[in-house]
A and B are shown apart, each in its own frame.
Chain A
Amino acid sequence: MKKILVLMLMLSALDAGAQENAQYRITYDCDAQYGSQRQVYRWHLDIGAEKAVFYNPSNRGREQVVNEVVSMNDVTAVMGRLSSLKAQFPNPNPMEVLVCAAPGSKYTYRNEVGSDKFWYEEERPVLSWEMTDRDSTICGYACLQAKTRLYGRDWTVWFAPEIPLSYGPYILGGLPGLILDSEDADGLFHFTAVGLEQDPADAKVELLSTKDAVKCTRSKYLTLREKANGQSLNERLRERGIDDKTVVKVVSADGKDIDMDADRPKNNYLDLE
């Protein structure tokens, strides 16, 4: 019985790998704290018939330009393109998640630690939702409030029963309606839906390629992430075997010196544990 169940879950994960077109695109703005500053990140949730992908369009646009630039031979042109990246694609974030609608399915997570790319598959946690009596209207939809705990963070969300899609930002979901707003109890992340679109053009429900990423487990990924958090540039270079003798000078794209030992702000993560 147990074997059959595992087999079924594996099959459903394989099925999730097939490409499908997005039928809906939900755009969220996330007001998030990074170090001591707040930044607004834009996210897309592209929903297909069986699964949905959650990604940062700024990061995808940036990746595309970087890939184009890498194949160019003209150094001046490369520097020119790279220096305008920040303005063109503000606040990029490399995290992407592919989630399946089917209850008990797995999700695929892709992210970067430093300049290394990783991906893993993990069973979607079963969320225990507590309904409250509060209601609100978001993007013209009547919404109800619910609360849950996911990977060590407490979330308060607003979902629209009128839209029978049990997804939301990140891997929040499983409610009888689409989540249009979610905020964690520490006030570090606040996702708000800012756009709803039907049949977005040329949108495949898939992750950015996992070919250039290393497959690992969630626990391995968390260990790597913890180690790199707050690491200075010098420490990171030394870890890679590049010492002071090798690196003559490190400068940013606009030619400014980079303080190799400056404290980097500690990241905040959507998952705590």
Chain B
Amino acid sequence: MKRLVSLMVLLLWVTGAFAQEAPGSGKVVDETGKALQGANVVAYGPEGKVLVYAISGEDGSFLLKKTNGMQRLSVSFLGYKTVNLSAEAFRDGQLIRMEPGGFQLKEVAVTAERIRESGDTLTYSVGGFKQAQDRSIADVIGKMPGLEVKSNGTIEYQGKSINKFYIEGMDLMGSQYALASENLSADKVKEVQVLENHQAVKSLRGVSFSEQAALNIVLKDEAKSTWTGLADLGGGYGNEWLYDNRLMGMQFNKRFQTLMLYKNNNTGKDIGSEVIDLADLGGYRAENGLLNMIALGGPDFDRERYTFNASHLLAGNWLLKTGADSQLRLQASGLLDREHQLSESRTTYLTIEGMPVVVEDWDVTGRKRQVGSEVDYTLNGAKTYLRSRTKVYADWNSSEGRMNLDGTAKDLMVRPWKRSISEDFQLSHTTQDGHIWRLFSASGYTWLPGQLLTLDGSLQVLNLGMLSSQNYASWQHRLGRWRITGKAGLDVQRQQINGHDWSMIFPYAEPAVQREIGGHTFDGILQVGYLRRQYDGNTRQRVTFEPTLRWNWKISPLSSFMAYYRLSVNPVQGLRVVDEPVYTSYRSLYVGTGVPDAQSSHTLYGTYSYRNPVNGLFFSISPMWTLSKGNLLCASEMNSGLYLQRATGQVYDANMYTVNSRVSKSFSWARTVVGLSWSASLSDYSYLSGNEVVDARTAEYAASADYSLRPARWMSVQGYSGVVISRRNVEGLAPTGIRDWEHWLQLNFLPAKGWMVSWRNELYHSSERDFGVNWFSDLSVSYKADRWEISLIGSNILGTSQYERVRVSSTVQSYTLTHLRPREVLLKVCWDL
């Protein structure tokens, strides 16, 4: 009876294909003859193809159909050795005896889910991406697919800059987040969350769409609610004594957060960039003048290779939660930086009789002395949003030095001082019915009392005062699936340039509609305004129509598309209008037309992004086209060594086409992450050569690959290879083009617990023969305990201390010499406080 039941049950379990042919049977027993239930019986054909299979029943019996082409029969059961029988050896009704044998499951350790998706939030586990060589959280963020850390510290997600950098959900850093990302230890961070399409204003969530993502740093429990910090002490020697120190204290509570830091170094590392505004918070931005610090530039190497600096940075950020939805933030920073630049060049003019040689030796010291502070109060309630931000900034930056031109010494001095004060204010309220009121104002004044020593030895003063105020009020109404917005605004600008007065006033009305259809959101905006410009009594006015069309399409949970078109009209700024020659460098002057013109531009932009957090594949592509009309053509003159650019009344149209794309993928094998980026940028423009308008095109194509992996427990690899191809086509001239390559490879060996040997190699070469092949190598040994680390770092161990370049063309032969940082050794101790 029992056998009959088993047989019936088994009949149900065999595959459909069995039913058509005569069955074969057998019985599986253990070494003592006891029936084994649940054994797998599989008949394999050629190339391991499963032909038929069965699972043994309660009494160990199985029913299998004999099939054509069977080559072997495999019987397996956990804890027993697998029995393999050839087709010839298998007989109907055969008793298969299994011997106990050690079936051991090949274990696969579950790693922390590297990327986890929950709605609009992607959570990256820091442990899943951190490599032994990573110190700051920015080092790890750079290895997370979909995220990228740019050389200036900007963090991008799917090709777009992030709009917020939260720590434990609080906005302590504002727009200066590099201070946290570059200094917060990766060991203190548990997870990095990407909040996609992040709308920071709670009352506007689900109403106003944001294209940008925000980042949230989730700390480990031990780093929360307690004072933690870092102290680094580093000293060494190259051509001079070296230092590299840092002291940082921080606390992250639910009601209070702070991060305070002092750091200094003279090892070439740029720390000033840690306090620049990276995220655009949509308020007043201090304006730039005409003068700049003297920058001699250098070869296309990492700037650290030829920067001789002495930098000190003191910064503090404090955030206090004043209520459930409100917070007060204070940020202050001061930077002292001295940079010494040396360069020598000799240019021989081969086509001029006597082949004159121009010798230029530069010795310039740039000093940055800057302080900035910001107070921000935000109320971010479910219905009401209020934000007030007051910002002050002042610097006393200067570049001073000496240039030797053909044996004649010239003193150089430029003081592009800047001071600014601004106030941004935003208020929005969502009513019970879902209507939204908004008030916005961003106003500021930038004063640029610049000074410049010119070629003839005279001191020029360039006094600029620039006032700007943008204000609007808007009201949004919801009508079913339509959202209708009415907006009225007033933009005012005034610029005073050495007594000349330029101003602009722009009142406007801006109706807009938004409609959602399925996964599509369409926006249509039309700004109608009256643009009035005035320069020293000369007035121009016009009515402007500026439409914007936007389309967002959520194609699937994995991919999305966005496109927009915008026509914008912008007045030519006072700095470009001024009709008195103004110095822009010690030997360059600019003079405008004195006519307060306006320019217009058409922009068409699209972006497609795909991300699959499960297999770690991220892809984005963003093409853009811009046509700008009304660009001023400038005539150039050279008089007694002075270079004068004079704006003519003529204008030209410029077209610009760009595409940026990146694909990155993480693999479970060896924690591998690979990223490929490429971009293309074409620019069509015109310039004046004599009295003739010449059309030209520049093109830049770039491609790069970056990767990091840990192929063995004792080794990790990180590298980058990239090429930039630049081409220039000028009407009537042969096209020119160069290819610049950059590669770096860092190998890290972990010979014993805590020990790491890192070897970094950089290689630069170019299609320009005179550039040569340039190789730099750094080596470091470190030992890391739980709370401290000691490292011995050797930089530029090959000791290349000068970079010489000879460039020969049919008309000119030039030689330049750049001094590089020599071989240096630094001993560094870091404590985790």
Could you tell me which A residues sit within 8 Å of B by CB distance?
Answer: 4-5, 8, 23-24, 27, 29, 31, 33, 36-40, 42, 87, 90-91, 101-104, 126, 128-131, 133, 135, 139-141, 144, 161-166, 174-177, 190, 192-198, 255-257
Give the residue among B78, B111, B118 with the most A Cβ atoms within 10 A: B118
Partner among B9, B76, B105, B554 whose Cβ is within 8 Å of the Cβ of A196:
B105
Q: Within 8 Å CB of B407, what residues of A?
A: none
Q: B109 interface residue, CB < 8 Å from A?
A: yes
Are A133 and B49 in touch, CB under 8 angstroms?
yes
Cβ of B10 within 8 Å of any chain A Cβ, yes or no, is yes
Q: Is the CB of B324 within 8 A of A140?
A: no
Across the interface, do B107 and A198 meet the contact criterion of CB distance under 8 Å? yes
Whether A4 touches B15, Cβ cut-off 8 Å, given contacts A91-B116, A101-B38, is no
| Chain B contacts for A133, CB-based, 8 A | 49
Residue from the list B74, B110, B120, B324 in contact with A195, Cβ < 8 A: B110
Is there an interface contact between A140 and B108, defined as CB atoms closer than 8 Å?
A: yes
B55: chain A residues within 8 A (beta carbon): 103, 166, 174, 176
Tell yes or no: B586 within 8 A of A by CB.
no
Q: Is the CB of B48 within 8 A of A176?
A: no
Q: Tell me if A128 and B1 are in contact (CB < 8 A).
A: no
Q: Is B12 an interface residue (CB 8 A)?
A: yes
> Are A131's CB and B105's CB within 8 A?
no
Supposing A131-B49, A176-B55 touch, asked if A163 and B105 sit within 8 A by C-beta, the answer is yes
* A128 contact from B15, B38, B48, B104, Cβ within 8 A: B15
Give the residue among B1, B12, B105, B107 with the most A Cβ atoms within 10 A: B105
- List residues of chain B with CB within 8 A of the CB of A195: 108-111
With contact pairs A36-B554, A131-B49, A161-B74 given, residues A42 and B5 touching in the complex (Cβ less than 8 Å): no
| Other A-B pairs, 14, CB within 8 Å; known A130-B16, A176-B42, A194-B108 | A4-B1, A33-B557, A36-B554, A101-B37, A101-B38, A103-B13, A176-B53, A176-B76, A193-B108, A194-B110, A196-B107, A196-B108, A197-B109, A256-B202
User: Does B382 belong to the interface (CB within 8 Å)?
Assistant: yes
A sample of 29 inter-chain contacts (CB < 8 A) reads: A4-B1, A27-B110, A29-B113, A36-B557, A37-B117, A37-B119, A39-B119, A40-B613, A87-B218, A102-B58, A103-B57, A104-B12, A126-B13, A128-B16, A140-B106, A161-B42, A161-B76, A162-B76, A166-B38, A166-B55, A175-B53, A176-B50, A193-B108, A194-B113, A197-B105, A197-B108, A256-B202, A256-B382, A257-B382
B77 contacts partner chain A, Cβ-Cβ < 8 Å:
yes
Give chain B residues whose Cβ lies under 8 Å from the Cβ of A192.
614
From A28, which residue of chain B is reached at the shortest CB distance? B110
Q: B9 contacts A104, CB within 8 Å? A: yes
Classify chain B's interface size.
35 or more
Tell me what chain B mostly uses at the interface: helix, strand, loop, or mixed: loop
Q: Does B519 count as interface, using CB distance less than 8 angstroms?
A: yes
Q: Is the CB of A176 within 8 A of B113?
A: no
Determine whether the beta carbon of A37 is less than 8 Å from that of B557.
yes
Q: Is the CB of B50 within 8 A of A144?
A: yes
B5 engages A4 (CB within 8 Å) = yes
Contact A176 B41 (CB under 8 A): yes
Does B5 contact A196, Cβ atoms closer than 8 Å? no
B residues in contact with A190, CB < 8 Å: 614
- In the assembled complex, the Cα of A161 lies from the Cα of B48 at a distance in Å of 11
Question: How far, in angstroms, from A23 to B39 measured CA to CA in the complex?
Answer: 16
- Bound together, the chains give a CA A162 to CA B119 distance in angstroms of 37
Q: Of B10, B106, B116, B613, which is within 8 A of A90 by CB?
A: B116
Given contacts A161-B50, A196-B106, contact A91 B118 (CB under 8 A): yes
Asked whether, in the complex, the Cβ of B614 is within 8 Å of the Cβ of A40, the reply is yes
Residue in chain A with minimal CB distance to B110: A195
The answer to whether A131 and B116 touch across the interface, beta carbons within 8 angstroms, is no
Q: Are A141 and B118 neighbours in the complex by a CB distance under 8 Å?
A: no
- Contact indicator B12/A103 (Cβ below 8 Å): yes
Check: B281 CB closer than 8 A to any chain A CB.
no
Residue of B nearest to A34 (CB): B119
Expressed in whole angstroms, the Cα–Cα distance for A41 and B118 within the complex equals: 9
A38 to B557 CA separation, bound complex (whole angstroms): 6
* Cα of A101 to Cα of B39 in the assembled complex, Å: 10
Instruction: Specify which chain B residues have a CB less than 8 angstroms from the CB of A37 in the assembled complex.
Output: 117, 119-120, 557
8 A Cβ contacts from B58-117 to A: 58, 74, 76-78, 82, 103-111, 113, 116-117
Q: Does B123 contact A (CB under 8 A)?
A: yes
**Residues of B contacting A40 with CB < 8 Å?**
113, 116-118, 613-614
Q: Which residue of B lies closest to A133 (CB)?
A: B49
Which B613-636 residues have C-beta < 8 A from chain A? 613-614
Q: Among A36, A103, A177, point to the contact of B40 (Cβ < 8 A).
A: A177
**Does B558 make an interface contact (CB < 8 A)?**
yes
Interchain pairs with CB closer than 8 A, number: 132
Known: A4-B1, A33-B557, A197-B107. A176 touches B40 (CB 8 A): yes
Q: How far is the CA of A8 from the CA of B232 in the complex (A)?
A: 73
8 smallest A-B Cβ distances: which pairs?
A: A195-B110, A176-B40, A31-B614, A164-B76, A176-B53, A164-B40, A38-B557, A104-B9
Residues in chain B near residue A36, CB distance under 8 A? 519, 554, 557
Q: B595 → chain A, closest Cβ, in Å?
A: 54
A131:B113 contact, CB within 8 angstroms: no
How far, in angstroms, from A177 to B39 measured CA to CA in the complex?
Answer: 10
Residues of A contacting B8 in the complex (Cβ-Cβ under 8 angstroms): 5
Asked if B53 and A90 sit within 8 Å, CB to CB, the answer is no
Cβ of B117: which chain A residues have Cβ within 8 Å of it?
31, 37-40
Residues A164 and B382 in contact, CB atoms below 8 Å apart = no
Q: Complex: how many Å from CA A102 to CA B613? A: 37
* Cα distance, A221 to B242, chains bound together (Å): 74
| CB of A128 to closest CB in B, whole Å | 5
- Report how far A166 CA is from B40 CA in the complex, Å: 8
How does the 8 Å CB contact mask read for B18-53 relative to A, with 1 for contact and 0 for none? 000000000000000000011111100000111001
In the bound complex, CA of A174 to CA of B12 (Å): 11
Known: A27-B110, A90-B123. A8 touches B116 (CB 8 A): no
Contacts of B554 in A (CB 8 A): 36
Q: How far is the CA of A50 from the CA of B324 in the complex (A)?
A: 53
* A27 to B113 CA separation, bound complex (whole angstroms): 11
* Separation of A4 and B6 alpha carbons in the complex (Å): 12
Contacts of A196 in B (CB 8 A): 105-108
Q: Judging by beta carbons under 8 Å apart, are B49 and A139 in contact?
A: no
Check A90 against B118 for contact (C-beta < 8 Å).
yes
- Identify A198's interface contact among B105, B118, B123, B557, CB under 8 A: B105
- Residue among A24, A40, A141, A192 facing the most chain B CB atoms (10 A cut-off): A40
Knowing A103-B12, A104-B12, A165-B78, say if A5 contacts B118 (CB, 8 Å).
no
Residues of A within 8 A of B58 (CB): 102
- Which residue on B lies nearest to A33, using beta carbons? B557
What chain B residues lie within 8 Å of A130 (beta carbons)? Answer: 15-16
Tell me the bound Cα distance from A257 to B37 in angstroms.
Answer: 57
Give the residues from 366 to 413 in chain B that come closer than 8 angstroms, CB to CB, to chain A. 382
Q: Which residue of A lies closest to B80 (CB)?
A: A164
Docked complex Cα distance between A164 and B119 (Å): 37
Query: Chain B's nearest CB lies how many Å from the CB of A33?
Result: 6
Bound Cα distance from A38 to B119, whole angstroms: 7
CA distance A144 to B44 in the complex (A): 12
**Inter-chain contacts of A31 with B (CB < 8 A):** 117, 612, 614
Q: Which residues of A contact B77 (CB under 8 A)?
A: 164
Bound-state CA distance A102–B5 (Å) is 13
Interface string of B535-554 (1 = CB under 8 A from A): 00000000000000000001
A131 touches B50 (CB 8 A): yes
- Kindly state the separation between the CA atoms of A139 and B106 in the bound complex, as whole angstroms: 9
Contact residues in B for A8 (Cβ distance below 8 Å): 5
B553 to chain A, nearest CB (A): 13
Judging by beta carbons under 8 Å apart, are B118 and A39 in contact?
A: yes
Minimum CB distance partner of B13 in chain A: A103
Inter-chain CA distance A86–B570, complex, in Å, is 48
B15 contacts A129, C-beta separation under 8 Å: yes
Measured in the bound complex, the distance between the Cα atoms of B61 and A103 in whole Å is: 12
**A5 and B1 alpha carbons, distance in the complex (Å):** 10
CA–CA, A36 and B8, complex, Å: 45
Which A residues touch B113, using CB under 8 A?
29, 40, 42, 194
